[in-house]
Copies of this chain bind each other. A is one copy, B any other.
Amino acid sequence: MQADSTARRPPVMEDVARLAGVSHQTVSRVLNKHPHVSVQTRERVEKAIADLGYRRNTAARSLVTRRSQTIGVLGSGMSEYGPANVLLGVQQAARHKGYSVSMASLSNVTPAAIRDALEHFMLQSVDGIVVIVPHEAMFRSLRTIRIAVPLVAVGFGVDEGLSIAAVDQRMGASLAVQHLVDLGHTAIAHVSGPPDWIDAAARIDGWRHTLVEAGLPATSLIRGDWSAESGYRAGLELAVGRTATALFAANDQMALGALRAFDEAGLRVPEDISVVGYDDQPEAAYFVPPLTTVNQGFKELGGRCMQMLLSEMASESNPGGGGSSAASVVNPVLVVRSSTARPRE
């Protein structure tokens, strides 16, 4: 089963040029939309391109231009709702602008793995990098390793010397906790994510801050790890102690685990205890009971992020525009469902 003789090499610029009766350079000009090409020439070239089914060779192009039209996305926990959607947003924005997206996802966030992945991106000579790993270790690595291309991080704290696009997590947490305070709760517990995750830390902060503002104690903090299981354990703990009348979980999955624990312990939600989640993943509306939670515009975040990256990439190629560090913050929104209510007297 030999390949038939039609299987010769794909056409190159020279082939197009010959067919159109011009030089290869003119073809290049048409492709790159240079001004000074006469209308007739352009049309002839375009016809030749279509007839031959010509496609510009990316490798040759990026060899000479020194840009790959590719951006790298470094992520972890990409199967979770939040990161997956940010990725989606980045990805769509990127392809819309003609960029390819190369993915690397870390199964565990260690400095070595981070360096590896970044190294991989440099080898590929990506034009820019998006980091979706709001993790303490990542942050430190980013300071240490000097990267030669523009980089935007998603979800990092605003105060650092790198460009970020983030949801205001402290505000989100405040929204959640204030809602509980307004309902009349005075003992509000928090199941957090792993505190070396920047998001988790910010939510803890927002929780604590809001309670202190309201003159309430912020003592009931339980560490989780984002998983439903850890939420379940936290819920069990709370059910035994009976110290809190409300729980703010740092994500919807932990809230789900807690819901299950309360059910098992015979506590009714929201009558005996109120629960607020975080993320507003689509399933949250179908928990038992439907979960009050905080919506973050993940996909929009991804889009913004890409936008920032593009503008950094543009300013990098112009002299005198280097080293800027911008920030773009998306505001979260509280979604009230039936897992929260006034505490019983």
Contact = CB atoms under 8 A, between A and B. Distances in A.
Given A59-B62, A100-B102, A100-B124, A3 B286 contact: no
Interface range, A side: 35 or more
Contacts of A145: none
Interface in A203-257: 227-229, 231-232, 253, 256-257
Nearest to A84: B79
Contact of A104 (B85, B91, B286): B91
Interface of A: 1-3, 55-60, 62-63, 68, 70, 78-79, 81, 84-85, 87-88, 91-92, 95, 100-105, 107, 120, 122-125, 227-229, 231-232, 253, 256-257, 259-260, 263, 282-283, 285-288, 290, 319-320, 322-323
A236 to B, nearest CB: 12
Q: Which of A2, A57, A79, A103 has the most CB of B within 10 A?
A: A79
B286 A232 contact: yes
Contacts of A78: 84, 87-88
A256 B227 contact: no
A58 B123 contact: yes
Contact of A260 (B85, B124, B263, B287): B287
Given A79-B85, A228-B282, A232-B286, A319 B3 contact: yes
A56 B123 contact: yes
A320 B123 contact: no
Given A1-B320, A228-B283, A259-B286, 18 more contacts: A57-B125, A58-B68, A58-B124, A59-B63, A70-B102, A78-B87, A79-B81, A79-B85, A79-B88, A88-B107, A91-B103, A91-B105, A100-B124, A101-B102, A101-B104, A227-B282, A231-B286, A256-B286
A283 to B, nearest CB: 5
B319 A2 contact: yes
A340 to B, nearest CB: 17
A59 to B, nearest CB: 4
Contact of A63 (B2, B63, B232): B63
Given A79-B88, A260-B286, A125 B231 contact: no
B104 A285 contact: no
A319 to B, nearest CB: 7
A3 B318 CA distance: 11
